Amino acid sequence: MSIARGVRSTRSARTVRIASGQGFWGDDLDAPVRQVRGGRIDYLMLDYLAEVTMSIMRKQQLRDPAAGYARDFVPLMERIIGDCVERDIRVVTNAGGVNPSECARAVAEAGRRAGAGGRARIGVVTGDDIVDRLDDLIAAGHPLEHMESGEPLESVRHLVRSANVYLGARPIVEALRRGARIVVTGRSTDTALTYAPMAWEFGWSWDAYDLLASGVVAGHINECGAQASGGNCSADWWEIPDLARVGFPIIEAGPDGSFVVTKHPGSGGVVTLRTVKEQLLYEMGDPESYITPDVTADFTTIRLARQGPDRIRVHGIRGGPPTPFLKVSVACSAGYKAVGTLVYAWPDAAAKARAAARILRERLDRLGLAFDRVLVELVGWDATHGHLAGEPPPDLPEVQLRVGVRGQDRAAVERFTREIAPLVLTGPPSVTGFAGGRPRVQEMVAYWPALIERTVVEPHLAVDVFEV
């Protein structure tokens, strides 16, 4: 597939409003509806993917070839597609997961049910999924070494569950150019969902690195939903109003790359320098070198200014060229784990919980069960800050004992799950909280980040646009 080098939009808007509607798969289901109906927006971006999400979706697809995407997206589009057509709003999402084509097909069906047949086009981006090409790629000299350990993927090849390349904005722009109202991708970067509409609307060229870097910063602010507008904000959290109706962030972008972060009038939450700064630093690595498929952004050049209530202006951003590589997210099966809990009450709650953990470990030893790791935490005391919490006082009202094990032998982990409940009658007293039944054994998936030369990926990218 060839993707247009220079982009040009038929629209010549001076300000484009790109609303965030979803920060992860499992976020507030009604947030996108509030974004569409609560005021004027031009684009709705919906981020559904996290590092582990792709492997979960792959597992679903192996059971059912028509699955493997964020299913919530389909009923959502059935609710809002009419509004999107009437208000001329475009939707850009990575809800496609490991199966964007099936996702788009289901959305088209939902759109027809909602009466949008013949009134909207859907664009689908494919080519990020390289799981079926892995053997060929390795044979052709692409070792897909782990970015931290340097180990080649060959060593865990038989354990690979999914492998997807992070794609940038170009295929999304191509779908928009071909008139798509809804663009469904697989593993696009979270930020591309926001800056692709900016690049398209303003006709930015692919070597306008400062502009693209501004788009990346806008995308980073949008990609976690309400985390930029008052949610999970540690600065004076008790003063943040009306989080029950929190307004998700909206980027008001201009052609020069500068933009304002805001939210719909009358919605809950706040947009302040503090909420925006906290989100800018979220999941940050080296701030001078925020690498994406299209540009390397420098977060140390960001300038922020308060422009009014719930309005933060962002400008001054510099960027440089991207690297010759794209990042690959590989998920590998990594054994089994289980976590069991019991609750101990006053007095000496923590001492009782620790005694129970010692008894449990001795029993596991006597059974000859070996694990790669056993972790004991006292929820209510040290589960979040470890030894920084100091020693628990004897008058602690209650504590939850939480014991986790992991290993390669499923039977051993299974047996562990049967050793929790017996502690109720055979261990320290004033214990409860076991009504949930035995813990569940979970298959673990390890994340294997790698790099691949973009030249072996880009020729495989495809954009398909069709009518609902």
Partner 1 sequence: MPRIPLLELAHARSGDKGDTANIGLIAYDPMDYPLILEQVTADRVKHHFGSLVRGAVERFELDNLYAVNFLLHGALDGGGTVSLMTDAQGKVFSTALLRMEIEVPEEVATRVAGRGRQPARRKESAS
Q: Which positions lie near partner 1, rule CB under 8 A?
A: 51-52, 148, 227, 232-235, 237-238, 274, 277-288, 299-304, 334, 337, 339, 373, 375, 377, 379, 383-388, 402, 404-406, 442, 444-447, 449
Q: Closer CB to partner 1, residue 3 or residue 280?
A: 280
Least Cβ distance, residue 283 to partner 1 (angstroms): 4
Place of tokens 């809800």: 95
Least Cβ distance, residue 439 to partner 1 (angstroms): 12
Determine the Cα–Cα distance for residues 7 and 346; give it in Å rounded to an integer: 67
Inter-CA distances, 232 with 90, 237, 256, 265, 379, Å: 28, 8, 31, 21, 21
Least Cβ distance, residue 255 to partner 1 (angstroms): 23
**∠ CA(119), CA(126), CA(203), 5° rounding?**
65
CB 101 within 8 A of CB 184: no
Q: Closer CB to partner 1, residue 255 or residue 449?
A: 449
Determine the Cα–Cα distance for residues 300 and 34; give it in Å rounded to an integer: 33
Q: Closer CB to partner 1, residue 283 or residue 395?
A: 283
Q: Closer CB to partner 1, residue 42 or residue 223?
A: 223
Least Cβ distance, residue 147 to partner 1 (angstroms): 9
Determine the Cα–Cα distance for residues 93 and 43; give it in Å rounded to an integer: 10
Q: Closer CB to partner 1, residue 40 or residue 373?
A: 373
Closest to 255 in 3D by CA, of 309, 197, 338, 341: 197
Least Cβ distance, residue 403 to partner 1 (angstroms): 9
Closest to 47 in 3D by CA, of 26, 78, 16: 26
Inter-CA distances, 123 with 182, 202, 242, 262, 392, Å: 6, 20, 37, 28, 57
| Residue-wise DSSP of 347-400 | SSHHHHHHHHHHHHHHHHHHTT---SEEEEEEETTTTTTGGGG-SPPTT--EEE
Q: Closer CB to partner 1, residue 35 or residue 53?
A: 53
Least Cβ distance, residue 112 to partner 1 (angstroms): 37
Least Cβ distance, residue 442 to partner 1 (angstroms): 7
Determine the Cα–Cα distance for residues 337 and 414; give it in Å rounded to an integer: 9
Q: Closer CB to partner 1, residue 152 or residue 449?
A: 449
Least Cβ distance, residue 222 to partner 1 (angstroms): 16
Which stretch of DSSP H or E encloses residue 443?
strand 442-453
Q: Closer CB to partner 1, residue 132 or residue 239?
A: 239
